[in-house]
Each structure stands twice: as structure tokens, then as C-alpha cells.
Amino acid sequence: AISFDVGQGVLEKLAGKHATFDIIARSEEGKDTQISVDCNFGELGDCGRKRYAVGHERNEYLFDVRFPDKRPGAAGTIAINSDFDKQGKSVDIYEIRVSIVP
């Protein structure tokens, strides 16, 4: 798995809000795969385990999180595993975005 940091400042802006995370990714050419996504947002909780089928075309993989109204004590992480079936498949991650749901 590979981990991406979610800064403490970002988590402070998300505290008490409903947010949508958007992972933009694609698989290796000719090798559709699956990814699992796990989050650790410290005092703000996690995102539950998410699983997506990923094809060769660039696509968006969305998930929602409702954050408690707490102050985060540290940064968090989003971990993406592209090879949990142990077949050597990889994915390209282009960006991870977050937006607050109005």
C-alpha cells in the first residue's frame, strides 16, 4: 500500500463537516484491478474500508466522510492498496481532492 498525508490544517477545515474525497486513478494498460482505500484521520476517525474496480481509463473514485466537530491533534493519512490479490498489478494515482459538501 502507499500512503498519502492529509495535513493537520486540512483536517482542521474539515472538522464538523461532511466532505467528499475524490481519487483520480487508472490501472496499468490491459490490467484491470481493484484498489482498497483506508483512512486514518486520528481524532476525527476514519473512512471505513472502501473498495473499487479500476480500469485503464482515468476515472474518479469518490467517498464521503462526516467528520465529528473535534480538533485534530495531528495530520492523517489515506492508504491505497492496488495489489491485495498479490498479482503484481499497479495503479497510477493522479490526484486526491477533497471538497466540503454544502
Domain ranges of the chain: 2-100
Q: What is the mean pLDDT of residues 31-46?
A: 95
Average pLDDT, the chain: 95
As beta bridge partners, residue 6 has 76
Choose the weakest-confidence range: 26-30, 46-50, 86-90: 86-90
- Asked whether residue 27 carries a pLDDT value surpassing 80, the answer given is yes
| Chain position carrying cell 466537530 | 69
Q: What is the pLDDT of residue 65?
A: 98
Class of the CATH domain delimited by 2-100: mainly beta
- Asked whether residue 5 carries a pLDDT value surpassing 90, the answer given is yes
87 pLDDT tier (thresholds 50, 70, 90): confident
The better pLDDT of the pair 65, 87 is held by 65
Kindly give, in sequence order, each residue whose CB lies less than 8 Å from that of residue 5, ignoring residues fewer than 6 positions away: 75, 76, 77
